């Protein structure tokens, strides 16, 4: 059944909360995602902070069974003739190659290492996929406010993802749909005046929604997540992921795509 969503007078979509969220405790992370300090506007993290976060995640992940990891994370696993193992993971509609057990992350197409901030996000995704035993999306959608600790990071989430989305595409909602289809292979969704469903990571579907402005309301929008995301990523990782989805679309819009 399609989920019906409408706007409140304050501009925030409502009516999309599931009747009851599962009481799932987030697994403890070895470290919090380094980008959270950037998102909160408190400190600019150093590259060393990202490197440390990645190293701690790799240490934890390297002990896991790679075949189970591939299944839980929606990755493909390959072994070459020498027995070397690697995973292939889709991230923002690009194939990544992840070596095992070193867990170095490269673009499959170019062989270049992905930016360290994105490495941390991908490694945390693998950790969450393992802890959740590959939790499949349910089709129950939640807002960022409903993510554990989401309200603490709400201002950062709005500044990094939601507000730029609305500011760029609020008056040209069809362009968002077109660019999301081009960039991510997104599918049209049935909410708002324009919306798309995409999977930046295999087990993490995301919906971008826009409402056109009218005499009563300015343009508005929101970003929704399948409720299983709370079993996979922390609030700061989700905020970072949302911005990572939105900013390439804004860049494409500015370039006249």
Q: Residues 93-124, buried b or exposed e (16+ Cβ, 10 A)?
A: eeebbbebeebebbeeeeeeebebbbbbbbbb
- Please state, in angstroms and rounded to a whole number, the distance separating the CA atoms of residues 43 and 55: 21
- Please give the pLDDT value at position 257: 64
- Please state, in angstroms and rounded to a whole number, the distance separating the CA atoms of residues 11 and 26: 30
- Please give the pLDDT value at position 172: 96
Average pLDDT of the segment spanning 42-65: 84
Higher per-residue confidence, 49 vs 9 = 49
3-class DSSP state for residue 98? strand
What six digits make up the tokens of 221? 């929008």
- Please give the pLDDT value at position 111: 96
pLDDT band at 15 (very low <50, low <70, confident <90, very high): very low
- In the predicted structure, residue 11 carries a pLDDT above the cut 70: no
Q: Residues 8-33, buried b or exposed e (16+ Cβ, 10 A)?
A: eeeeebeebbeeeeeeeebeebeeeb
What six digits make up the tokens of 114? 């992905």
What six digits make up the tokens of 125? 């995704």
Q: Residues 61, 75: contact at Cβ < 8 Å?
A: no
Give the Cα-Cα-Cα angle 142, 144, 149 (nearest 5 degrees).
Answer: 115
Query: How many CB atoms neighbour CB 256 within 10 A?
Result: 5
Q: Residues 117, 38: contact at Cβ < 8 Å?
A: no
Give percent helix, percent strand, percent coil of the chain, each to the nearest 5: 40, 20, 40
- Please give the pLDDT value at position 237: 95
The counts of H helices and E strands in the chain are: 8, 11
- In the predicted structure, residue 249 carries a pLDDT above the cut 50: yes
Q: Residues 112, 106: contact at Cβ < 8 Å?
A: yes
What six digits make up the tokens of 9? 């007078």
Average pLDDT of the segment spanning 138-163: 94
Query: How many CB atoms neighbour CB 254 within 10 A?
Result: 9
What six digits make up the tokens of 51? 């490197």
Preceding peptide of 247 cis, ω within 30°: no
Average pLDDT of the segment spanning 127-143: 96
Determine phi and psi for 97, rounding to 5 degrees.
-110, 125
Predicted confidence (pLDDT) per residue in 177-201, tens digit: 999 999 999 999 999 999 999 999 9
- Please give the pLDDT value at position 214: 87
What six digits make up the tokens of 184? 């991510």
């Amino acid at each position: 059944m399609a989920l019906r969503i409408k706007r409140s007078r304050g501009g925030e979509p409502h009516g999309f909360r599931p009747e009851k969220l599962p009481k799932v405790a987030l697994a403890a992370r070895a470290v919090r995602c380094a980008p959270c300090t950037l998102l909160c506007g408190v400190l600019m993290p150093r590259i060393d902070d990202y490197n440390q976060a990645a190293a701690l995640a790799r240490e934890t992940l390297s002990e896991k069974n790679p075949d189970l990891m591939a299944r839980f994370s929606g990755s493909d696993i390959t072994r070459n003739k020498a027995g070397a193992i690697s995973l292939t993971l889709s991230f923002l509609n690009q194939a990544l190659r992840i070596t095992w057990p070193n867990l170095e992350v490269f673009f499959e197409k170019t062989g270049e290492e992905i930016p360290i901030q994105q490495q941390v996000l991908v490694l945390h995704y693998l950790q969450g996929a393992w802890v959740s035993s590959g939790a499949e999306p349910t089709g129950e959608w939640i807002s960022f406010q409903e993510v554990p600790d989401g309200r603490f990071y709400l201002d950062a989430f709005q500044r990094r993802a939601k507000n730029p989305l609305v500011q760029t595409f609020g008056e040209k909602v069809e362009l968002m749909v077109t660019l999301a289809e081009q960039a991510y292979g997104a599918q049209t969704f049935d909410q708002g005046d324009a919306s798309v469903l995409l999977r930046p990571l295999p087990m993490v579907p995301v919906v971008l929604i826009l409402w056109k402005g009218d005499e009563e309301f300015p343009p508005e929008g929101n970003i929704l997540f399948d409720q299983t995301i709370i079993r996979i990523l922390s609030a700061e990782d989700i905020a970072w992921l949302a911005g990572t989805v939105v900013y390439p679309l804004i860049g494409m819009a500015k370039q006249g795509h």
